Structures are given as C-alpha cells and as structure tokens.
Amino acid sequence: MLDTPLVASICASIMRNRLLEHFSCFLLLVSVIHVVLAANYDPPDKIFLNCGANGETSDDDDGREWTSDMNSKFAISVGNSLASDAATQKPSVPTTPYMSARIFQSDFTYSFPVSSGRKFVRLYFYPADYDNHTAKHGVFSLHIGPYTLLKNFSAFETANNLNYDFFSKEYSVNTESGALNVTFTPDPNTPDSYAFINGIEIVSHPDIYSSSGTSMLVGASTSFDIGNTTVLENVYRLNVGGQAISAKGDTGLFRRWADDTAYIYGSAIGIPVAADQNITISYPSGFPDYVAPVEVYKTARAMLPNPQTNLGFNLSWYFDVDTGFSYLVRLHFCEIAPDKTKPNQRVFEIFINNQSAEAAADVILWASASKVPVYKDYVVYLSNETPRQDLWLALHPNTYMKPNDYNAILNGVEIFKVNTSGGNLAGSLPNPIPMQPVIDPSRVLPRNSGKSDNKGGIIGGAIAGALAGIVFVGLIACFIARKGNRRKNQNSNDRTSNWLPLSLYGSSDTSDTTGKTYGSYATSIPSNLGRHFTFAEIQAATDNFDEARLVGVGGFGKVYRGEIDGGRTKVAIKRGNPLSDQVGEIAVKCVADEGIHRPSMGDVLWNLEFALQLQESAGEGEGSVDMENEEMPLNGKSKELDENVTEDSTSITGQSLASADSDGLTASAVFSQIINPNGR
C-alpha cells in the first residue's frame, strides 16, 4: 500500500512547483510586455496663449482653454505692437486661436517661464488682413534663443502654396535656463512689413526623440546624435492607413496625426489594414505608452494580397521638404495581421530617398511578438542642389530572406527637420501642393474575400463579366484592324505636345479633421488634363531614361521620374515592356464571378491603349525591350534597359504611375490616342 500522507505531500509539492512556474512565467511576461492601461502623459508646462484676444478665456475645438495675451506677464517687450481681429473669417477657420492676432512693427519678445527639459512650441497663423495691415506684407523672422526658426517668412505665401486657409508649425526645443524666449522681427527689406502671431502653444514633452548613436545616417555607416542642443521642426506626422487623429486624441502631447493618402505616390496605394477591435496592443518594457497613440498601431497600410504582384512595385510616399538639412525619419510598426505571428513571415526593404535604410525589416523579429509596437529612427541628409526636393519613402518585399509573404507594412511616420550647426531651421517656401485625386481603396482589394450567398448576384455577375470580356477582346480586334488609319494621322517627333481637354470630371473641396482646408481636388481626374508627348520630349524629360531617375518597376515596364515644361512640372514616365502579360490578366479579370474583382472601365481602356501600342510596334519589329528574366535587386533598382525604344512603345501613362506632382495627372484616364482629336 502507498503511504497516503506521503502521496499527499508529493502532490502538494508538485502543485506548489507548478504554481511557482506559472507565476514566474507570468512575472516574466509582465516584465517584457505590459498591456495598454497607462494614462496619457501629463505635461508639467501647458501654455495656450490666444494672441490679440479681448482678454477673456476661450476653448478651442479640442476643448483646451486659451488665455489672452492682453497685459500678459509673458510679453516683456515694450516695442510697437497692437491687437487686432481678422477682417474676415473663412468658413473653415476656427475662432480660437485664429481670429485674433498680435501685430508687431518692431522687434517683440515673449518670455515664458518653464521648467527645464524639452518643449513642443506650436505657432498658429491665419494670414488675413488685420487693422490696415494687408496679409501679403506680413514678412518676418522668428527666433527662440540662439535658434532661427523662421527667416523672411511669409504666412500669406505659405498658405497660398499649401492651399491652406490657416496652419500651424511645431518645434521641439530643449530649455535649461528656466525661460523660453520667442522673438519676432519684421523683415527690414520688405516695404510696410510687420510680424504677427495668432496663437502660441508651449507643452512639455518627454525626451522621446533624442538619440545617442542609435539613429543611423542613411547611406553611411555612421550614427547621428540628437541631443540637448538639437532643435527639431516637425514637418510631417501621419497615421498610415488610418484616419486623422486630433490633438485631444493624442497621448497628452497634443500632436496632430494626418492620414497618409495625400502623400502616397501614384495609384499603387496598397491596402489599409485595421486590427480587430477586440485585440490589445501590448507595449514592450521600456517603451513609453505616449510615443504614439494606440490608434496608430491599430491601423496600417500594407501591400496587395498577391505576392507576385507586389514584387513589381514599391509602396511609396513622397514629402516636399527643404534641402540643406538633415531629417529624422521615425517609422512606427506593429504587426496586426492575424496570420502574421512569427518572424520571417513578412520581410521587406526600406528605402529613404532612393538609399537603402533597411535591407530586411521584420516587424515581429524587432518587437519579439505580434501586436507589439516598435519604431525605427533614420536620418537622411538632403544636399541643397535645389531649394526644395521630394523626400521619398519606399517599401519593397525582400526576396533574399525567402519570407512566407512578399509584402510590407507601415503604421505611422514622423519626419523632423534638424537644425544646422549654426542653429538655423529656416527654409524656403513650400512647393504648391499637388492636385492628387482622392484615392478609393475599394478599387484595390475586394471588401469581402468570401463567396457570396446571393446566387442571383453571382450568375448576373458572371454574365456581365463574360460580356465585358467579349467586349474587351472585340475592342482589341477592332483597334488592331484600324491601326493603319491611325498611322496616317501620327505626328512627327519634333512637334511640341499640347494639353487636350477632358471635360468628364468635376471637383470638390475637401478638408481634414484638423480643419486645414486643402482646396479643390478632382473626384477622379482634373477636367483640363490629357496630353500626348513626343518621344523626343520623353527622352529629354528623363535624361534619356537615366537609371538615376528610376523610381519603380511594374508589369508594363520601368517607371522614371521626369520633368517637363522647363522643369516646372514633375511627372512619372513608364517605359513600355512588350513582353508584359498584364493585358491578359485584365481580360481574365473581366470575367470574374464577383463584380468587385473586375477592373474599372478606365483600367480596361488603358490596357487596350497600351496593348495597341505594343502590337503596332511589334508588328513593325520596332520598340523591342529585352526584359526577360529581369529581377529586382536589393537596392530597389532593376537592370539597365536596352535603349532601343521607339515612340510607339513609350508611354507616359499607366494605372500605377500617377505622379502627385503632376497637377493631378493620373494614369487610368489619360490615353494618348483615345483623346486625340484625330481619333481612331
């Protein structure tokens, strides 16, 4: 017989050991990852100054209370200043803090007593007429201590170029003396110049952007330090794949996060990804909860579900910035896809300004688990060859690591301009905002990947798809049969190209949730665009297809960055590949069971146009380009193309080629011959 007390003792010992093991594992898990329960950051300094207001406090749209600077302890200058209300209020402009201003006709300084440490300094501008001061004469400089934040700055011109009614600028400044001085100086070289400010916001923030040897300089093997003497200007902050986040939706730091659709290059936009509302984002130990709102990590933008398609293009964003400065680029990641739980399931390359920043980005490997946020900092320098330049960010699947999925993902982006060694952050006027159409993600990925239960819908869709396929093939046959007629009306390569009207589309005004009015955007494509280019013009625009201008590779060929109209207009130019099989893919999609899987009429027409161009050039033995077995190397650029291409095999249009710098020129509706008055 077994000794009962002995058995009980053994069992109790085993239970105690198991409980200790589970408790130890729990403690270890808690020490590595903690659930999002922490409160927002509580800044020790919060100053909201409503400049020129009538002395009463008022709340802004985010519920924050602003106080007037009338008889304020912060105004230490005795210079010439006056308070004035704006002459007019545009519908998009909030009253607080934009409808009153403090006007300075000589040097004027605000001095804010603050604790030591880093501060967000936000300056608010509404360039309207104030008390006999016209908006265009508001040209001035602004300094914080020894740092020049603005020089010969015109809020009027800035708003015009950005198509904003009002705007704000944000800086991160470290203070050690206990006082933060902000000085305004009217430009002495501008007649009747004055300085003005509508609102000043100062908020303490933790030192979450500084680094010592951890931020890598892209294109070099050295690190870049951001310390107490560094001043940062936030130029872009995006919630990638998600909606805009207001100041009150941030983590107590009152940052505003815009959505990323206005900055995506072309129509290869990937797909927005949103986490299940029931999942919890867990932060790793040592990762402050206030680095970014949890909403940033619960949404993302990824590439398409088709891995082979993803190998043919980059998921790209572009940002208009000043040159002659270094930029801190912070990328936020969190793997939220339910099927991505292990390393090497999604690995991709990161390119910043056409330079490799990361050869094998694996979010789960970085974060140690899925649904755990992580961020990476990179610094890139833009030489001042021109006053302004586009800073490019591109993601491309990594094939070398042989991941489960050829895909890429990004949750958020923050870009900061870094002051020069002389303490300067002042730059030039921003380029006029590109007129990019509103992008409809539903055209990229089906909203429901499952089968429909509606048999009638399936049957009807199949019939409609079959008819569409028949029409597609018939149109190809008709176009080929009539190619001889087209040849008679072709123009020579020496003729200058002209814009042709497309009066099929309207326009609409759009605003983001922060109230910044971006002006009039086309709902599909602008109504005044459509242009046929000669081959000579395309060669000149791309420096004879210089590989340094390569920005991507698609199924139809390579995409080059070009400049036309004497460099005033930037365009994307695709060089045709006669071996492309995308036309056949479009024909197959036309007979898909579900309508959502079928291409738009714009895509069908464009493919017809391109197929005809390729057929005509191939029929005469012209325009051949050898791209067989071509691969995308790790540097994001493909092999050099044979330069033996004629006009007929060159296209400046394509579904994935729209350049947001080309005044809204989108590829799916600009057809070089379909809109030609000579017609087919």
**DSSP string of 123-168, one letter each residue:** EEE----BTTB-GGG-EEEEEETTEEEEEEEEHHHHHHHHT-SSEE
Q: In angstroms, what CA-CA distances link 410 with 242, 330, 399?
A: 11, 11, 18
Q: Is the pLDDT of residue 24 over 50?
A: no
Numbered residues of the known binding site: 574
pTM attached to this predicted model: 0.64
Which pair of structure tokens corresponds to residue 220? 């070099």
Confidence grade of residue 432 (pLDDT, cut at 50, 70, 90) = confident
Identify the pLDDT of residue 75: 86
On the 0-12 / 13-18 / 19+ scale of CB atoms within 10 A, 276 is exposed
Which pair of structure tokens corresponds to residue 374? 């992580």
Beta carbons of 412 and 455 less than 8 angstroms apart: no
Query: Is pLDDT larger for residue 297 or for residue 634?
Result: 297
- Rounded mean pLDDT of 124-152? 97
Identify the pLDDT of residue 672: 38
Identify the pLDDT of residue 268: 80
Which pair of structure tokens corresponds to residue 217? 């300089």
Give the C-alpha separation, 75 to 73, whole Å: 6
Confidence grade of residue 216 (pLDDT, cut at 50, 70, 90) = confident
Tell me the percentage of the chain whose pLDDT exceeds 70.
63
Confidence grade of residue 508 (pLDDT, cut at 50, 70, 90) = very low
Give the C-alpha separation, 201 to 60, whole Å: 12
Q: Is the pLDDT of residue 184 over 80?
A: yes
- Rounded mean pLDDT of 332-354? 96
Q: Is the pLDDT of residue 36 over 90?
A: no
Strands 211-217 and 223-226: antiparallel
Q: Is the pLDDT of residue 423 over 70?
A: yes
Give the C-alpha separation, 198 to 539, whole Å: 49
| Residue 284, helix vs strand vs coil | strand
Q: Is the pLDDT of residue 292 over 80?
A: yes
- The single-letter DSSP state of residue 621 is T
Q: Is the pLDDT of residue 455 over 70?
A: no
Beta carbons of 215 and 145 less than 8 angstroms apart: no
Q: Is the pLDDT of residue 168 over 80?
A: yes
Beta carbons of 358 and 294 less than 8 angstroms apart: no
Q: What's the helix, strand, coil split of the chain in %, to 5?
A: 20, 30, 45
Beta strands in 335-408 (DSSP E): 348-352, 355-361, 374-382, 388-397
Query: Is pLDDT larger for residue 533 or for residue 211?
Result: 211
The sign one gets for the Cα dihedral 102, 107, 113, 119 is positive
- Rounded mean pLDDT of 130-143? 96
Identify the pLDDT of residue 603: 65
Beta strands in 218-354 (DSSP E): 223-226, 232-239, 258-259, 271-274, 282-284, 299-302, 315-322, 325-333, 348-352
- Rounded mean pLDDT of 197-206? 98
Residue 610: enclosing H or E segment and its boundaries? helix 601-619
Q: What's the one-letter identity of residue 120?
A: F
Beta carbons of 545 and 560 less than 8 angstroms apart: yes
Identify the pLDDT of residue 410: 98
Confidence grade of residue 78 (pLDDT, cut at 50, 70, 90) = low
- The single-letter DSSP state of residue 415 is E
Which pair of structure tokens corresponds to residue 504? 């099929």
Mean pLDDT of the chain: 75
First to last CA, the chain: 102
Considering only 53-57, 374-378, 661-665, which range has the smallest mean pLDDT?
661-665
Most confident range (mean pLDDT) of 270-279, 510-519, 553-562, 576-585 is 270-279
Identify the pLDDT of residue 434: 57
Sole residue written with tokens 């001042």: 384
Identify the pLDDT of residue 441: 44
Beta carbons of 366 and 359 less than 8 angstroms apart: no
Beta strands in 31-136 (DSSP E): 33-35, 46-50, 58-59, 65-68, 81-85, 100-104, 108-113, 117-125
Beta carbons of 417 and 321 less than 8 angstroms apart: yes
pLDDT digits (tens, 9 = 90+) for 50-66: 999 997 899 999 999 99
- The single-letter DSSP state of residue 64 is -
Give the C-alpha separation, 153 to 136, whole Å: 11
On the 0-12 / 13-18 / 19+ scale of CB atoms within 10 A, 92 is middle
Most confident range (mean pLDDT) of 8-12, 426-430, 510-514 is 426-430
Identify the pLDDT of residue 559: 83
Considering only 41-50, 330-339, 456-465, 658-667, which range has the smallest mean pLDDT?
658-667
Q: How many other CB atoms sit within 10 Å of the CB of residue 561?
A: 23
Identify the pLDDT of residue 150: 98
- Rounded mean pLDDT of 583-596? 64
Q: In angstroms, what CA-CA distances link 89 with 61, 92, 93, 100, 330?
A: 16, 8, 6, 10, 36
Identify the pLDDT of residue 593: 60
Query: Is pLDDT larger for residue 446 or for residue 375?
Result: 375
Phi, psi of 307, deg, nearest 5: -60, -40
Give the C-alpha separation, 191 to 181, whole Å: 27
pLDDT digits (tens, 9 = 90+) for 87-114: 999 999 999 999 999 999 999 999 999 9
| Residue 493, helix vs strand vs coil | coil
Q: Is the pLDDT of residue 636 over 60?
A: no
Identify the pLDDT of residue 527: 37
Identify the pLDDT of residue 32: 42
Beta carbons of 184 and 140 less than 8 angstroms apart: yes
Give the C-alpha separation, 297 to 412, whole Å: 8
Helices first, then strands: H and E counts in the chain: 10, 35
Identify the pLDDT of residue 590: 72
Q: How many other CB atoms sit within 10 Å of the CB of residue 100?
A: 24
pLDDT digits (tens, 9 = 90+) for 529-553: 456 677 777 888 888 888 778 877 6
| Residue 225, helix vs strand vs coil | strand
Considering only 39-43, 220-224, 463-467, 594-598, which range has the smallest mean pLDDT?
463-467
Beta carbons of 302 and 264 less than 8 angstroms apart: no
Identify the pLDDT of residue 469: 58
Q: Is the pLDDT of residue 10 over 90?
A: no
Numbered residues of the known binding site for ATP: 574
Q: Is the pLDDT of residue 501 over 60?
A: no
Query: Is pLDDT larger for residue 13 or for residue 672?
Result: 13
Beta carbons of 238 and 259 less than 8 angstroms apart: yes
Considering only 89-93, 99-103, 332-336, 646-650, which range has the smallest mean pLDDT?
646-650
Identify the pLDDT of residue 9: 53
Most confident range (mean pLDDT) of 74-83, 374-383, 444-453, 594-603 is 374-383
Phi, psi of 630, deg, nearest 5: -75, 135
Which pair of structure tokens corresponds to residue 164? 């904003």
Q: What's the one-letter identity of residue 366?
A: W
Query: Is pLDDT larger for residue 660 or for residue 160?
Result: 160
- Rounded mean pLDDT of 175-184? 93
Give the C-alpha separation, 209 to 237, whole Å: 13
Radius of gyration of the chain (CA): 29
Tell me the percentage of the chain whose pLDDT exceeds 90.
50
Identify the pLDDT of residue 215: 84
Q: In angstroms, what CA-CA distances link 513 with 170, 199, 318, 485, 665?
A: 18, 19, 21, 52, 26
